[in-house]
Amino acid sequence: MVRMFIAVRVSDSVRQSLTSLIGELRNSGADVKWVAPENLHLTMKFLGNVLETRVDEMADAVSRACEGISPFEMSLEGVGAFPSISRPKVVWVGVIKGKDVLINLNKNIEVELEPIGFERERRRFSPHLTIGRLRREGRPGDLADRLSMEFNGGECVVESVYLMKSTLTPKGPIYEELKHATLKHN
Catalytic residue among 4, 14, 32, 41: 41
Phi, psi of 34 (to 5 degrees): -80, 150
State the pLDDT at residue 29.
87
Which amino acid is located at 146 in the chain?
R
State the pLDDT at residue 165.
98
- Domains present along the chain, CATH in parentheses: 2-182 (3.90.1140.10)
State the pLDDT at residue 63.
98
Could you say which residues of the chain have pLDDT below 50? none
State the pLDDT at residue 137.
65
Is 180 labeled as catalytic in the residue annotation?
A: no
Is 185 labeled as catalytic in the residue annotation?
A: no
Which amino acid is located at 147 in the chain?
L
Catalytic residue among 9, 15, 45, 128: 128
State the pLDDT at residue 138.
63
